[in-house]
Structure 1
Amino acid sequence: MVSESADFKPDNGIGEKTGGKGEAFGDRVRRAVIWRSGSQILAQIITWTSTLFVIRLLDPADYGLFAMTQVILSFLAFLNGWGFASALVQSDSVDPFRIRQAFGLLLLLNAMLAAIQFFGAPLAAAYYGQPIVADLLRIQALIFLATPFIALPEVMMSRALDFRRQAFVNLLAALAGASTALGCALAGFGVWTLVYAPIAMFWTRAIGLTLVARLLVWPSFDFRGCGQIIGFGSAILFTQLFWLVQSQADIVIAGRRFEPHALGLYAEALFLAQIFMGKFVPPLNEVAFPAYSRIKTDRAAVRWNFLKTVRLLTLVAAPFYCGLAVVAAPMVETLFGIKWIGMVPYIQIIALALILMTVQILFSPVNSALGKPWVSTLASMGGAIIFPTAFLIGAQWGLIGMARAWLIAAPLLLLLTARLSGPLIGVSLGDVARAMLPGLAPALLMAVGVALAGEALAPFALAAPVRLALLVALGVLLYGGLLWLFAREALAEVQRVALRRSAPESP
């Protein structure tokens, strides 16, 4: 969501500039965002449609066991070399030999990770006291073998802002994963459904991306002269490590303290609450990284585009999270069934914290594009201290205490990240707060209104789908009305971006 030029005009829409070259680049960025985000939305619709059927067939305990394996898989995956491949995006030029080096490094690392997970699986099973975890992890090792054939073509196409071909492959992979999940669930595979579906999706992406990118190169294991790849990738690697400690600490802590059924409710509540942050923001960051890299010498353009991204994203994220918090009960009952109603308190608490987390993760691609990924590493290191500490304290009050820990840890991490990254980007915490305000304030007021309406509807004992439809409709009307009354310029900004119009010139 950025543009590139020396004559950057803050009066224009995202990526807009005067001048042919800049305008062409702005159009490329806009198309990249549309293809990447649009395909992500379609892929998620496919996945969620399948998930709604699958979740009714499986038990919370299945999701609890699966969450245990995901901790192990995630901690190993940070070593999969994706950060080393990402160095090819940030570089000013790339030669064929460096591509072969990157591919060789990806193959070597992921083969090693697959072996570690396969042979170390019994240790994880012993930690959780669940023998089946070892069997699940051994099969999931196949995911690592697919990673090199996804990472290399993906970063090379991202470097060229070519997200159209990726979009078709991602949609095909979503179909493969969704159909596998549905078929396995109907066949009574239980927790194995959650294992086979991602494998089908990963390998479909691996084959598809390799074919459309035409990038099946011979790997090189001669790593001389690849210091830039190693240096940049190492910073990304440590950032991911600390992020994993932060994001997986609650499951690691809860896995030994609570039984699989309760853990499954918490894990799925967390997954549902993180849908926007985890599924829609990363595709935007994938476009933002190469786009910011193109304008890294124009710090005014970087600053303006970053704040505009925060402002526009908050206009969407804040009403989503606030609305999710107040309609969680009828939504869970409608979509997942009454057996999942225990998710509701966790969703209501975590959703509010994720408004701040969504903004926090927008800093990382800017830092990386400016050649300072270590700034994000330091912020992630802080998160790796803040979140586990909060979860350990919160666990004394059960899983609800761990959910409440998010309300303390998320604001602290955003404060830390803004203080570390702000001087580099040229923004202050106040700038970020002002960018968030047009979306956040109306969203909070909307949530209060919807919550009061929910209380008023309670005596009528309406069916959950009816309550959900009424509350969602009210929320949309309230939020739209509040934006019209108090943040009309924000609406005009969204319209300019969508319609590719420039703002009126100042007198």
Structure 2
Amino acid sequence: MRISGASEQDPPEGFRARVRSALAWRWGSQLVAQFITWGSTILVVRLLDPSDYGLFAMSQVIVTALHFLNGWSFASSLIQADEVGERDIGQVFALLLITNGSLAAIQLLLAPLVAGYFGQPAVADLLRVQALIFAMIPFTALPTALLARRLEFRSQGIANLVSAVTAAATALVLAWQGFGVWALIYAPIAGFAVRALIMSVAARLWVRPVFNLKGAGRMIGFGGALTLCQLFWIIQSQSDIFIAGRVFSVHDLGLYSEALFLTLIVTGRFIPPLNDVAFPAYAELHKAGRSLGPYFERTAQSVLLVVAPIYIGLSLTAPEAILVVFGEKWTGMAPIVSGLALVMPLMALQIICSPTCTATGKERIYLATSIAGAAIFATSFLIGVQYGAQGLVHAWWVAAPLLLIFTLALTLPQIDLSVKRLAQALAPPALACLIMAVVVLGLRQALPADIDPVATLGILGSAGAAAYAGILYFVWPDVVRQSIAMIRRTPADPLPPHASARAPADRTSTIAD
């Protein structure tokens, strides 16, 4: 039996309907799941100490690094392929079993060495238990890829919600019962187990692994290239904790790691689900001979419309937000959050570039940007760590824009999109955020010094949101209308290629997916 892509059979309206449904389930379920996770996280943070998060961050350096090498990219090769047969599926299953079994063994062997590197014996036990995660990945990655190939995200949405509830409940109960850092360890394991079970049942693809890999060259090549990219992404994303772990105290590392977690919530939790839908959608469009430039332009603008005000607002109100939400013992991370939030809109744009390259078979571009990211970020962190947590923040300020410039220089020519058109599309949210910042800073200066932090947060947040929305509505009304309409539009129905933000009243493209 062969499983074909749907781009040639589906009429445009059928494709639009599938993308709408995919986005609704994938991104909508992620939104609900994150609200559940946030609620649990806030309560757990109040119950635990920064030192617990410091130990957890040390273990996560290795867990996250190995997790990026878990072979998920082999499963992704099924999405990009023109046709997929049962043998292909069995071979991917075998590759996933081999890869994750090896990673679990490596983590067990590395556990005492990592504990010795950080000077924290408890880290070894944390890593040994977390090796269980790799046993569940093959039973999640394979059904996820096959369902994504057909743009069927309903089952994934349900799995995400149930998994989030399970993990949140586990973390909260264990933290309440005094398990300390172990609450952070067992919660994701419980979530992974539930998600693997639901996805395996939903896919209804009870295939046997095929360990004879003859004829699997294409998927190994594609998956290997993406895995190599992930290796360099590991260096980029984990080098700050790895370097700081030997320099900072456990308490200070906990403050930095939790500040980083907080500021990466949007880029790390909400942008990837968009990419999950964009990858198969872009692949179908590319197979149909469509240029991806207009779709990426709309995606970039709408992502920045949502992400930029959240991050700039967080940066401007970090002292009050941290005190009100997390409590007094966490106020030390406020300046870290404030600094990191400033650069995160650039990281959001960086992340959405990857599907355009992988969907069109240009993995070399993705590899080049991954290598550049590893070199730029690791070097910046090595220099910045000498100046404490703020030194790492300043390293982000240097590394993120440099990497984005490099990535866009390689990506835009491949999708027939000019720098000028992209800049015009991004101008409305960027300028609206600038005006919002002026309003909030001016209002902060006018407020009494002894005002309650809850009131301050409410006043500044409301004023900033009103300023941002007001500027967009009165200066770029088309942007607002098109952003609302994007939930009814899809990559199969782009605006005309010439549509761009030349002047406040001109038509401006918005997100397609």
Q: TM-score, normalised by structure 2?
A: 0.92
Equivalent of 1:56, from 30, 46, 71?
46
Following superposition, the deviation at residue 5 of structure 1 comes to 8.2
Equivalent of 1:463, from 426, 437, 452?
452
Between the aligned partners of 1:264 and 1:28, the Cα distance in structure 2 is 42
Contact 2:166–2:190, Cα closer than 8 Å, also in 1: yes
| 1:416 lines up with 2:406 in the alignment | yes
Contact 1:68–1:252, Cα closer than 8 Å, also in 2: yes
Following superposition, the deviation at residue 300 of structure 1 comes to 5.0
Aligned residue for 2:75?
85
Q: Which amino acid aligns with 1:383?
A: G
Equivalent of 1:497, from 468, 486, 490?
486
> Counterparts in 2 of 1:8-23, with a 5 A limit?
21-23=11-13
Aligned residue for 1:13?
none
Equivalent of 2:249, from 259, 264, 271?
259
Following superposition, the deviation at residue 435 of structure 1 comes to 2.1
Between the aligned partners of 2:251 and 2:69, the Cα distance in structure 1 is 31
Q: Which amino acid aligns with 1:108?
A: I
Following superposition, the deviation at residue 107 of structure 1 comes to 0.7
Following superposition, the deviation at residue 462 of structure 1 comes to 2.5
> Counterparts in 2 of 1:106-185, with a 5 A limit?
106-185=96-175
Q: TM-score, normalised by structure 1?
A: 0.94
Report Cα offsets for 1:228-256 as digits up to 9, x if no partner.
11010011101111111011111011000
Between the aligned partners of 2:69 and 2:494, the Cα distance in structure 1 is 45
19-28 vs 148-157, which deviates more?
Answer: 19-28
Contact 1:146–1:203, Cα closer than 8 Å, also in 2: yes
Equivalent of 1:380, from 370, 377, 381?
370
How many residues end up aligned between the 2 structures?
490
Between the aligned partners of 1:167 and 1:235, the Cα distance in structure 2 is 28
Contact 1:36–1:163, Cα closer than 8 Å, also in 2: yes
| 1:434 lines up with 2:424 in the alignment | yes
| 1:226 lines up with 2:206 in the alignment | no
Gaps of 5+ in 1: 7-18
Contact 1:299–1:425, Cα closer than 8 Å, also in 2: no
Between the aligned partners of 2:385 and 2:163, the Cα distance in structure 1 is 38
Aligned residue for 2:339?
349
Q: Which amino acid aligns with 2:171?
A: A
Specify the SS of the correspondent of 1:188.
coil
Q: Which amino acid aligns with 1:181?
A: A
Aligned residue for 1:480?
469
Contact 1:357–1:414, Cα closer than 8 Å, also in 2: yes
Between the aligned partners of 2:475 and 2:288, the Cα distance in structure 1 is 33
Contact 1:125–1:132, Cα closer than 8 Å, also in 2: yes
Specify the SS of the correspondent of 2:83.
coil
Contact 2:294–2:495, Cα closer than 8 Å, also in 1: no
Aligned residue for 1:443?
433
Between the aligned partners of 2:68 and 2:40, the Cα distance in structure 1 is 28
Between the aligned partners of 2:10 and 2:377, the Cα distance in structure 1 is 47
Specify the SS of the correspondent of 1:256.
coil
Report Cα offsets for 1:284-323 as digits up to 9, x if no partner.
0000000000010456541111110001111101111111
Between the aligned partners of 1:221 and 1:500, the Cα distance in structure 2 is 43
Change (3 A) 1:355 1:503: closer
Over the matched positions of the two proteins, sequence identity in percent amounts to 47
Change (3 A) 1:426 1:298: farther
| 1:197 lines up with 2:187 in the alignment | yes
> Counterparts in 2 of 1:202-351, with a 5 A limit?
202-297=192-287, 300-351=290-341
Report Cα offsets for 1:6-63 as digits up to 9, x if no partner.
9xxxxxxxxxxxx981122112112211111100010001111111110001000110
Between the aligned partners of 1:120 and 1:402, the Cα distance in structure 2 is 26
Following superposition, the deviation at residue 499 of structure 1 comes to 4.6
Following superposition, the deviation at residue 79 of structure 1 comes to 2.0
Between the aligned partners of 1:191 and 1:476, the Cα distance in structure 2 is 36
Aligned residue for 2:391?
401
Change (3 A) 1:339 1:283: same
Aligned residue for 1:74?
64
Change (3 A) 1:429 1:244: farther
Contact 1:299–1:426, Cα closer than 8 Å, also in 2: no
Contact 1:74–1:244, Cα closer than 8 Å, also in 2: yes
Equivalent of 1:25, from 11, 15, 22?
15
Specify the SS of the correspondent of 1:295.
helix
295-304 vs 387-396, which deviates more?
Answer: 295-304
Change (3 A) 1:354 1:32: same
Between the aligned partners of 1:464 and 1:51, the Cα distance in structure 2 is 21
Specify the SS of the correspondent of 1:94.
strand
Report Cα offsets for 1:299-355 as digits up to 9, x if no partner.
654111111000111110111111110111111111100110111111111111111
Query: Cα RMSD between the aligned structures?
Result: 1.9
44-53 vs 291-300, which deviates more?
Answer: 291-300
